[in-house]
Amino acid sequence: MEFSRLTRDITIERDDAGVPHITASTLDDALYGLGYMHATDRLTQILFARAIASGRAAESIAARDELLETDRFFRRIGLHRNQPREREYWPEDVQRQVDHYCAGVNDGMKATGGTWPMWAIGFEAAAWDPTSVLYIGNLLSFGGLAVSQLENERIVIALIQAGGDEGALRELFPGRLEHVDFEILRQARGVKKLSDEALEVLMDLPRLAGSNAWVVSGKLSQSGSPILSSDPHLETNRLPAIWYEAVMRWNGNYAIGATLPGCPLVAVGRTKRVSWGVTYMKGDTTDFFIEDCRKAEEGKWQYRREDAWYDFQVRDEVIGAKGKPSATMRVLENPQGALEVDPEESGDGYYLSLAWTGMQPRSGMAIASWLQMLSAENATEALDVAKGCPQPTLCWVVADVEGNIGMQGNGRFPRRRNGFSGLGPVAAWDARNHWQGVVPADQLPRIYNPECGFIATANEDINEPNRPKLVSQTLPSYRKRRIVEVLEAACEVTIEDMQTLQYDLVSLQAREILPILLPYAPQVLRDKLEDWDYRFDPDSTEAVLFQRFYRNTLLEIFGHERGMGPKRTLYLVTRAGFSSMIIAACDEILKKDLSLWWQTRDKGEMIRTAGEKALLEKEVTWGQFNSFHFTDRFFGGGHVGRLLGFDSPEYPMPGCHATVFQGHVLQTATRESTFAPSYHFVTDMATDLAWTNMPGGPSESRFSRYYKSDVPLWLDGDYKKLAPKFETSPTDPPEESPQTPLP
């Protein structure tokens, strides 16, 4: 490829899939080339993401209600306030590397000039700088990850404030709500759940809210070296894909994998000596507090500590809106967090405030950790780099060419009062409830060369006995246990075996829950499901029948007025507002013989009723029931998008939330969303190769042949080869996906 403004001695070539191969003499220049290609192929994506992270999306993109809502959300938490200072904490080499990357983005931006979406809305682009990199990093940490924990805590608050039975709710979340005063919480104001439209904006952000990663040692592999597999899960049906694949080579080393546009990091990948994959730990780094607030005689708002009152700090945020007058949002905050709402509207009383450890100094060192991973010489060094990463909370799985494997948890976790989970709010006026520093990194989970010969992680509850509790929500372990089940039976493992496991469709949830339900089911339903193989294959009608039977059971048992309520339960257990935390908690209740959830009702009769209702629905296959469309992030979904071919035909989505291939379709306010593997990566440390696919391609342009170049591979479970030495394939490029024009 030739570029008019390329100012470094580097070479950039595309392979048949459009993946850029960047060759440079130094890592600095390779990162410059990566920045150049991010601007070349994903300029709209990185500029719009920066606008959202800085709380200026409505001002610079469009004055839409959902963008105004996300602007207020990010500005209230203060995501924009601390970025300039964070660069000063970086080591000199990291500062230099980020500067080179930003120079590449800016040169690429000048060469590109602009994009169609930018032209359509009159978007004016400012230069890319280290603060921009930190914004994108914080989107990964907060907008994409901590928000999921935050929304689960809001669900718990809403269930309590809706008047659900206290004993039943404590049973639903055992050991997690003992510290919560239900009476005080029910008086607190400020539960502002994000709207579906605003959550859809956040769905566009880089997230690892669900993922799989595992590694087998050489004693289990056919090659005699470790094989590492990783597949982060996020929204997959809106193009361009969130990740951007690249191959960088410099001074005898290389990096292959999925990069994050706007940042010089490789989220999942490998170098000559080390490979890594990550999953979201779902660690709890956010807390709600209950503040007792009053308005003093002089007009200032105050908060109470024991019997004393103190003035809130006041911060005014000017929220712009394109083509409309700006509005000022007042934020009241103190050392324990920021109030969720302005108390001026409702007067004295209890209010909720929010705290996040990511607002503490040195949170930006996460960028340094990702860059330092490129220089790790072995698994031990890689684990140490991961341990020092302050955010987001992840489980890193690593392997090296010497045959070592390991796992390291990371994150900055608040040290809470003994016995407090963090899932429910506590009174801020009692100083014993305040955070007491953070959990030392040496107390975070670590595994090195286990005797069993493999390590797997898939968003399971990672809390360890006699250790700080890092996870507060109830988490399903079905995917993790299925991976372990397969690996325990494995020997002479190959790349192909790991690729097959990444597409595994067996649901351990169905295998464990169906025997509980089936004895009470109508005979017709029993006949249909008793020989089912528990696979959520697109051709399966049994998968749909089970899902309906299971959904109806949850509605019957948990949807009564003294429970979660019928409407809220319907929202939380279906594709409208699916909550894996609620699903996991309900599954544990279903396994009981006695429970407060059916103490005055007949469990078997409710299950039978659920089965009868499931039989009334039309029989369809899982592929018909769980289908989706690819659409464009910027133009899809509307009349213009359909007219210009931005929306694809309907595709079946295999799998469900409980299968290794987590194929999940959600129906939100105005469109469908998906949650599925956004990148498949497998590498054998005996070679320099990686095998990958993704639901998309390198380019964000609908009219590029590289817009959907990997989609056929992703749909069919096929993989392409990435190698540090650029090779032209003797075969034809992948078959063009529907509605992608020929070059």
**What pLDDT digit, counting tens, does each position of 422-432 carry?**
999 999 999 99
Residue 287 marked in a binding site: yes
User: What's the mean pLDDT in 464-471?
Assistant: 91
Residues 542 and 620 in one domain: yes
Q: Which of 604, 625, 646 is the last residue of a domain?
A: 625
User: What's the mean pLDDT in 481-490?
Assistant: 97
Provide the residue count of the chain. 743
Task: Give the mean pLDDT of the chain.
Answer: 91
Strand 405-410 and strand 446-448: pairing? antiparallel
CA gap 138, 130 in Å, rounded: 12
User: What's the mean pLDDT in 525-537?
Assistant: 97
CA gap 243, 257 in Å, rounded: 9
pLDDT of residue 451 exceeding 80: yes
Task: Say if 28 falls within a structural domain.
Answer: yes
CA gap 438, 128 in Å, rounded: 33
User: What's the mean pLDDT in 481-507?
Assistant: 97
pLDDT of residue 188 exceeding 90: yes
User: What's the mean pLDDT in 163-184?
Assistant: 95
Task: Say if 230 falls within a structural domain.
Answer: yes
pLDDT value at residue 129: 97
pLDDT of residue 741 exceeding 60: no
Residues 373 and 466 in one domain: yes
User: What's the mean pLDDT in 600-623?
Assistant: 97
Domain that holds residue 176: 152-201+284-359
Contacts of 641 (CB under 8 A, 6+ apart): 631, 632, 635, 647
Share of the chain above pLDDT 90, in %: 78
pLDDT value at residue 525: 98
pLDDT of residue 404 exceeding 70: yes
User: What's the mean pLDDT in 385-404?
Assistant: 96
pLDDT of residue 481 exceeding 80: yes
Model confidence pLDDT, tens digit, residues 108-138: 999 999 998 899 889 999 999 999 999 998 8
pLDDT value at residue 743: 29
How many domains does the chain fold into?
3
Residue 647 marked in a binding site: no
CA gap 522, 607 in Å, rounded: 9
Q: Which of 321, 340, 359 is the last residue of a domain?
A: 359
Residues 293 and 308 in one domain: yes
> Pick the residue with more confidence: 40 or 137?
40
Residue 153 marked in a binding site: yes
Residues 23 and 140 in one domain: yes
User: What's the mean pLDDT in 477-505?
Assistant: 97
pLDDT value at residue 43: 97
Residues 239 and 160 in one domain: no
Is 663:678 a contact under the CB 8 Å cutoff?
no
Residues 303 and 161 in one domain: yes
CA gap 627, 510 in Å, rounded: 20
User: What's the mean pLDDT in 54-73?
Assistant: 92
Model confidence pLDDT, tens digit, residues 636-657: 766 666 666 678 889 999 999 9
Residues 221 and 342 in one domain: no
CA gap 552, 617 in Å, rounded: 12
The model's pTM is: 0.94
User: What's the mean pLDDT in 681-701?
Assistant: 97
Task: Say if 522 falls within a structural domain.
Answer: yes
DSSP E strand boundaries for 244-335: 244-250, 253-259, 266-271, 274-280, 286-295, 301-305, 308-311, 313-321, 324-334
Which residues are catalytically annotated? 211
Model confidence pLDDT, tens digit, residues 544-577: 999 999 999 999 999 988 889 888 888 888 766 6
CATH of the domain at 589: 1.10.1400
Residues 171 and 225 in one domain: no
Is 356:410 a contact under the CB 8 Å cutoff?
no
